Amino acid sequence: MHRLMELRSDFRLREVVHTADLPWAPSPLAGVERRMLDRVGEEVARATSIVRYEPGSRFSAPAHDLGEGILVLEGTFSDEHGDYPAGTWMRSPHASEHQPFSREGCLIYVKVGHLRPGV
């Protein structure tokens, strides 16, 4: 029987994680790795992660059901809408899509699947 991935998924609890202590886990695409902070689901999930893009890497994501929030921590994160240097925060609504990449490499904080549609 296949179980749903759950990582720090009891949102009633306070959690404290030193992200440098977490291992980098590969994503489905080469050059993109993540440190998973919380997760409920498999590749399409309600999840919070620190994501590292190697220079020249791209990520083709499905539509973000229940939205996505990104804070660029280092480098420049890009998509077909523009380039976002360190310190940029963006929020995309339910069912939004984009094709993210980084020319120089970057580190981002990402939260997906946490927004209610129509609110």
Is residue 119 one of the residues assigned to a domain? no
Number of neighbours of residue 108 by Cβ within 10 angstroms: 23
Rounded Cα–Cα distance for residues 116 and 8 (Å):
21
* pLDDT given at position 49: 92
* Host domain of residue 76: 6-112
Residue 118 lies in a domain: no
**Nearest alpha-carbon partner for 111 in 11, 28, 14, 1:** 11
Q: Which residue has the tokens 């523009």?
A: 82
Residue 29 lies in a domain: yes
Q: Average of pLDDT values for 81-108?
A: 89
Count how many domains the chain has. 1
Band (1; pLDDT cuts 50, 70, 90) = very low
Which CATH number goes with the domain that contains 21?
2.60.120.10
pLDDT tens track for 40-89: 766 666 789 999 999 999 887 666 667 788 999 999 999 988 999 999 99
